[in-house]
Homo-oligomer: A and B are copies of this chain.
Amino acid sequence: MARGQRLGDLAERVGGRVVGDPDRRILDVAPLESAGPDDLSLYTGPKYRNAAEASRAGAVLVAPGTGLPGRDLLECREPYVALAVLLELFHPAPPRRPGVHPDARVAESAHVGVDVEIGPYAVIGESVTVSERVTIGAGCVLGDDSRIGAETVLHPRVVLYPRTEVGARCIIHAGAVLGGDGFGFATSGGRHHKIPQIGRVVVEDDVEIGANSTVDRAAMGETRIGAGTKIDDLVMVAHGVRIGPGCLMAAQTGIAGSTQIGAGVVFAGQSGAINHLKIGERTVVAPKSAVLQDLPPGSFVSGNPAIDQAQWRKAQAIAARLPALRSELRKMQKQLSALEERIKGKE
């Protein structure tokens, strides 16, 4: 039997078409730099043309109309989406191993669905609900009354505080902590009295949360992560925050208490927002920016304080040359004084 997959069959699977030989056989997906004649590579634009031309890749996944002479091409309207599909095809997730490890502790009052996998040293508290086909990694701790939706994967050492709710098809990476106390204190006479944090965390369906990220429970009510939102590593979401669906929060982003974030918002790495803000949908916050005020939908901001990105970029270019600008000012002051003297002298 022939190895790999026909290029034509791959095209069919991703809704694309072949320019070249549909019978070419593909064994794997690989970057342009390391691909060989049995590999399919992704080409994303002119910046990588040299790499594409030098590549030994057997075929290249491209957007329609991309000319790469002498190559078998797989044209797709959305090459990145096609890449995701093909990577899953060539690298299927390892087979699940349903069953509760004998070294896991599952409370008798917990409800565990069918085909659930629970790893060694995991702890499942009282009245927890674990839905069907959930995977719970080694050393996870699920507090009392927490709930996990179907097919969700918890990697090792995830902690859910009591009453945390995670939806279906979520992926929570190792070390993430959901439901820890919000940072709330009533200060009187220099002493900080803890305000009990009686709310909870709700993570909707299809959310991914990165390694060692933390999402705090609300003081009252809910901290909520919208469906399909993806959160990177070491991100901090504070108490009472509401993040809409389809957002992207890159690594080390921090959102302070009670801030509301609309649908499809993007926070780049190390950015943040202070508390009690409303950030309109589709807003993009550039890396390391600090949002200090409400933003209308579709904003694109940068800096601290975050302002319109284009304005920020222009201002920063000038800011870097402030010494020269000041010199010009000083020179003009002298010119002006000299001029005043000359006129005075004539009077």
Report the separation of the CA atoms of residues A121 and B139 in the bound assembly, to the nearest whole angstrom: 8
Stretch at the interface among A2-10, A16-24, A67-75, A334-342: A334-342
* Contact residues in B for A188 (Cβ distance below 8 Å): 78, 81
Interface: A174 (CB within 8 A): yes
Query: When the two chains form the complex, which single residue of B137, B185, B312, B326 contacts A320, counting CB atoms closer than 8 Å?
Result: B312
Within the assembled complex, what's the spacing in Å between the Cα atoms of A336 and B138? 75
Q: Residue A339 contacts which of B232, B303, B319, B343 (CB distance < 8 angstroms)?
A: B343
**CA–CA, A80 and B121, complex, Å:** 40
Q: What CA separation (Å) do A120 and B183 show in the bound complex?
A: 27
Contact A159 B171 (CB under 8 A): no
- Asked if A88 CB lies within 8 Å of chain B CBs, one says yes
Q: Which residue of B lies closest to A105 (CB)?
A: B120
A98 part of interface (Cβ distance < 8 Å): no
Question: Given contacts A198-B87, A339-B336, is CB(A290)–CB(B315) below 8 Å?
Answer: no
Q: Write the A179-217 contact mask toward B (1 if CB under 8 angstroms, else 0).
A: 011010111101111111010000000001011111010
Report chain B residues within 8 Å CB of A323: 311, 314-315, 318
CB distance from A153 to the nearest CB of B (A): 10
Contact B161 A174 (CB under 8 A): yes
Pick from A28-36, A109-117, A128-136 the stretch touching chain B: A28-36
Interface string of A275-303 (1 = CB under 8 A from B): 00000000000011010100000000001
Other-chain contact of A246, B155, B192, B307 (Cβ < 8 Å): B192
**Which residues of A79-94 are within 8 A (CB) of B?**
80-81, 83-84, 87-88, 91, 93-94
A58 proximal to B (CB < 8 A): no
Complex CA distance for A333 and B328, rounded to whole angstroms:
9
User: Cβ of A264 < 8 Å from any Cβ of B?
Assistant: yes
A261 interface contact, C-beta 8 A: no
A290, B248: Cα distance in complex, Å: 20
The distance from the CB of A314 to the nearest CB of chain B, in whole angstroms, is 5
Query: Of the candidates B94, B138, B340, which one forms a contact with A162 in the assembled complex, judged by CB atoms under 8 Å apart?
Result: B94
Kindly state the separation between the CA atoms of A305 and B94 in the bound complex, as whole angstroms: 42
Q: Which residues 128-168 in A have Cβ within 8 Å of B in the complex? A: 137-139, 141, 144, 155-157, 159, 161-162
Taking the nearest CB of chain B, how far is it from the CB of A38, in angstroms? 15
Contact of A214 among B141, B210, B263, B318 (CB under 8 A): B210
A316 within 8 A of B: yes
The CA of A88 and the CA of B194, in the complex, are separated in Å by 10
When A and B form their complex, which 10 residue pairs have the shortest distance between CB atoms, in order from nearest?
A: A80-B186, A177-B211, A180-B211, A87-B196, A159-B174, A141-B156, A318-B322, A214-B233, A288-B290, A81-B186
